[in-house]
Each structure stands twice: as structure tokens, then as C-alpha cells.
Structure 1
Amino acid sequence: MYLYTWYQWLLFFFIYCFIGWIIESTYVSVRSLHFVNRGFLRLPLLPLYGSGAIIMLWLSLPVQGNIFLVFLFGMAGASALEYATGYVMERLFKMKYWDYSNNPFNINGYICLGTSLAWGFLTLLLTEIIHRPLEWLVLRLNGTVCIVLVVVIGILFVTDAVHSTKEALDLGRILESMTKLKSELEEVQVQISLLKAETAQKMSDIKAETAQKVSDIKTETIQKAASLKDETIVKISSFKAETASALKESALAERLQSLTETKDKLTGRLTFYRKGILRRNPTASSRMFGEALRELKEYTKKYKKS
């Protein structure tokens, strides 16, 4: 058992990628109450399950017949693969494509006790039940047919993986840019609010000063000329203050408008394929860019409805 050619191993990999896609899509679709084409790729393939199945088979080979060790080795191997894959994907794409942070006994949200135990039971199911009929089927395929299948599926798989990786990297950059823009937008809005408050306070002080000058003019006619001069100076100062504040507020408003337009352009870069990534991974999260990710998810939902 498990003595296969390279193309048979690859065919098993693709078969288990497809089975994994069926399991994940069914589970997420039932929870979401609508069909979800689960996964990182657009093809109905989940590489994590394919890789996990191959690792399970390799690790279980030396301990065949010992159910406990098969369970333990499969659980450990698949959990290590899931952790490493989740860690690398988050560093590359700025997103967690699955997140167990709310599950008990999790490690950095990449793996948790529940899923690790599930991997162990899946290893037993795989090695004792699922793999045997698949092995029988693959071993009876003509070698040429098997190679053709592997080559065709492999080309489609690699093409999809390259394109999906590029789109996911771009999506990560959009999340990063949107987060920076949001911070700048908030800073400009705070500056405008402070400027308005400062301007209102200055105008209040100038009006009070002018009123005092007028009162002095009425009661002190001897100093009328001097007071009128002071009043003129106050009015000029008021005009200058208003003009300076207006110019500054106008500049900030233009900056705010520019940032808003840039943010809209970034959202517009959410192409059909990038929207697909978000729809295929509804539970995706991001520690650094969580708010931007939520905003893009909402935008994707609106786009889908319209």
C-alpha cells in the first residue's frame, strides 16, 4: 500500500483537493444558507486538504495497524501543516483565510483543539475507508491516461494558483492602503473640527473686544478718534483672522475630498476576482486591517445584491 508512481501521488493530491472542496463548501454553505464556492482558488480544489491527505498517508504508513498512532500522527502532521499554511498566508496576504481565535484551545487562531482532533479522526477515516476504493480506481487507470489527467489538471491548477496569488497580494495591498487612508481621513477631520472651534473662539473674542470699544467711544468722547482707530484695527484683524481660517479650512476640505476620492478608487480596484476571494472566504479576518476588510466585505455584499 502507498507504493505509487509520482503521477499517481499527484492524482491522489488532486482528488483529495476536490473532496476537501466538497466538504468545506457544503459546511460553509449550510452555515451561510447559500452556496459558497469555498477556498483560495477559483477551481473546486482546496490544496490544504490535498496536502493534508498526502501527509496523512505518508505519516500513517510506518504505523499501519496501530489505530492510536495513526490517529496521533495524522492529527499532528495535519495540524502542523494547517498552522504553517495559515501563518505564511497571513504574512503574505495580510489576511487570515480561516480564524479559530474564538474557539477554545487555539494557537494564534491558526489551529485549535477541535479541528486537530477532527484531523486525527479524518486520518482514520481516510486510511481505513476512503483511500482503499480510490486506490483501487487509480491503480486500474492506464498510465498514459493518468499522466494526461495529471498534466491537464496540473496546468489548470498552477494557472489558477498563480493568478489567485497575484489577486490576493493586490487585495492585501488594498487593505493596507485603505487603512492608511482612513487614518489620514480621521486626522484631517479632527483638524477641521479643531479649526472651526478655534475660529469660533477667535470671532467671539473679537466681537467682545469690538463691543467694548464701541462702549468706550460712547462714554469717552475725548478719545473718540483713537477708539475709532482701534476699532478699525480690530475689524482688520477680524477680517484677517476670518480669511486665514477660511483659507486653512478650504485647504483641509480639499485634502479631505482628495483622500475620499482616493479611497473610492481603491474600493473600485476590488475586481471580480478579488470580490470572489472575499466571497469564497466569508470568515476571513485581519488583525492589522480588520476595519478595512469589513468595509470591503460590505461593499462586496452590496455589489452582489445590485
Structure 2
Amino acid sequence: MYVYSWSQWLLFFFIYCFIGWIIESTYVSVRSLHFVNRGFLRLPMLPLYGSGAIIMLWLSLPVKGNLILVFLFGMAGASLLEYVTGYVMERLFKMKYWDYSNNPFNINGYVCLGTSIAWGFLTLLLTEVVHRPLEWLVLKLDSSVTIYLVIGISIVFTIDTVHSVKEALDLGRILESMTKLKAELEEVQVQMALLKAETTQKVSEFKTETLVKITNLKSETASVIKESALVERLQSLTETKEKLSGYLNFYRKGILRRNPTASSKLFGEALKELKEYSKKYKKS
């Protein structure tokens, strides 16, 4: 059982990536009441499901026939994969592409009890029902056909993965830049408020202390120059922030739309702003 060539294993991986995309997209679409092309990639594939299926098959080998152990092994293996994948992706891309923080019995938002139990049942469904006809179909294919299929899909899959990783890294840098810009904007606005208060006080003193008129006028001139510089800096920061929002092209917006539950601990406000921008883009 499960003794396959490298090309057959890869073909199973791609098949389960596609099946996982169908399951996830259907679930999210039903909850959202509109179609959602779920996932990290543009292709209709979810590598987490493909990897999870392969791990489930491997882990179920030693306990084949014992449904309870198959359930437990599949649940543990898939949950560990989900946790590690979520942890690495957040560190790399500055975002959680799925977040179970609001679910009960979750671990750092990467896994939760409900999903882990679902993984266990999926393992049973996979090993006892789904894999058998797929195994028959794949084993019926000529070895050369299998290799050509795997090579063709692998090329497209690799290209999409490279582009997806690059765009996700760009998105993470945009979130970081927008967060820094927001902090700098707030600092400039505080400086302008303080300068305005200081200028008002000096004008009042100017009216009552005519003996220091020349000194106050020089001070006023310096304040005006300083305020002008702050205004220019504020305008520059605002324009830069707008450019960063506009820098998102269709594909980057697609990443946000395909992952509606994505979150970011460090750049939460910037991510929220980009999601709103993505919604406006979709409507226009």
C-alpha cells in the first residue's frame, strides 16, 4: 500500500492541492455569500492541503486498519504541519494568512482544536474513501504520461510560487513602510499642534509687550518658516502613503481578497487600510 514512484507521489500532491482548494474555496465562499478564490497562489491549488494529504498517507501506514490511531496520527501530523507553516509564513511575510485567534483552544492563532479534529476526520475520509479511486486512476496512467503531467504542472506551479512569494514579500514591506509612515505623520502633526500653540502665545505677548516687538517678530518669522517646513513634510508623507497604497497592483489585491481572515500583529492598522483599499478597487 502507498508504494509509488516519485512522479506518482508528486501527482498525488498536485491532485490533493486542487481538492483542498475546492474544499477551502467552497467553505469560505458559502460563509462570505460570494465566490472567493481561496489560497496563497493564483492557481487553484492549496499546497498546505497537498502536503497534509501526503503526510496523512505516510503516517497512516504503520496503523493501517486501526481507525482511532489513523484519526489521531492524521490529526497530530496535519496540525503540526499547519502550525509550522503558519509560523514560518508570518515570520517571512509579516502576516498570518489564516488566523484562529478567535477560535476556542487555539495555539497562537495557527491551529485550533476544531480544525485539528477536522484534520483527523479528513484523514479517515482520505485513507478510507477518497484515496482508493484516485490511486486506481493514477496507477492506470502510463509512467511516461505521469512524468509529463508532473513536469508540466511543476513548471507552472513553481513559476506561480516564485511570483506569489515575491508579491507577498513586497506586501509585507508595504505594510511595514505604511506603519512607519503613519507614526511619522502623527509625530509631525503633534509638532505642528505644539508650534501653533506656541505661536498663539507669542502673538498674545506681542500685543501686550510692545517693547520686545522686534524680538517677537523675528521669532514669529522663524516659527512661520518652521511651520511651513512641517506642512511640506506632512504633505510629502501623505503623498508617499497614498503612493504605497496605490502601489498594490491587481495581484497583490488578489492576495488580500483570497485571504479575508489574514491578520498582522505588527502592522494590523496598515493591513486594515489596505483591505479597505482593495474593496474600493474591486467596486470601481
SS at 1:31's partner residue?
A: helix
1:301 corresponds to = 279
3-state SS of paired residue (1:41):
coil
Shift of 1:148: 1.0
Question: What CA distance in whole angstroms lies between the structure 1 residues aligned with 2:201 and 2:23?
Answer: 65
Q: Which runs of 5+ in 2 are unaligned?
A: none
Secondary structure of 2:265 counterpart: coil
**1:175 match:** 175
How many Å separate the matches in 1 of 2:104 and 2:10? 35
Shift of 1:30: 1.1
| Residues 105-254 of structure 1 aligned to structure 2 (within 5 Å) | 105-210=105-210, 230=211, 234-254=212-232
Structure 1 position 202, deviation (Å) = 1.6
CA displacement, residues 61-81 of structure 1 (integer Å, 9 cap, x when unaligned): 110011111001000000000
Which region of structure 1 is more displaced relative to structure 2, 39-48 or 192-201? 192-201
Amino acid at match of 2:201: Q
RMSD: 0.8
Distance 1:123 1:30 in 2: 23
Mapped to 2, the partners of 1:191 and 1:235 lie a distance apart of: 25
Q: Distance in 2 between matches of 1:206 and 1:269?
A: 48
> Are positions 1:269 and 2:247 aligned together?
yes
AA at the equivalent of 1:277: I
CA deviations over 1:117-169 (Å, ceiling 9, x no partner)? 11001100110111111111111111111111111111110010001000100
Q: CA deviation at 1:265?
A: 1.5
What SS does the aligned partner of 1:2 have? coil
Number of matched residues? Answer: 284
Q: Which residue type is aligned with residue 64 of structure 2? A: Q
- Work out whether 1:58 is the aligned partner of 2:89: no
Q: Over residues 234-260 of structure 1, what are the superposed CA-to-partner deviations in whole Å (9 max), with x where a residue is unaligned?
A: 221232122111111001001111111
2:262 to 275, 280, 284: 284
Counterpart of 2:25 in structure 1: which amino acid? Answer: S
1:298 and 1:101 map into 2 onto residues whose CA distance is: 21
Distance 2:140 2:251 in 1: 38
Structure 1 outlier segments of 4+, above 6 Å: none
What's the offset of the Cα at 1:177? Answer: 0.6
Normalised by the length of structure 2, the TM-score is 0.98
CA distance in 1 between counterparts of 2:33 and 2:228 reads 49
TM-score, normalised by the number of residues in structure 1: 0.91
Taking the aligned partners of 2:29 and 2:202, their CA distance within structure 1 comes to 60
Tell me, in whole angstroms, the C-alpha distance in 2 between the residues paired with 1:200 and 1:279: 48
1:272, CA displacement in angstroms? 1.4
Q: Secondary structure at the match of 1:62?
A: coil
Q: Which residue of 2 aligns with 1:257?
A: 235
After superposition, the C-alpha distances for 1:199-230 in whole angstroms (9 at most, x for unaligned) are 111211222334xxxxxxxxxxxxxxxxxxx3
| Bigger radius of gyration | 1
Unmatched tracts of structure 1, length 5 or more:
211-229
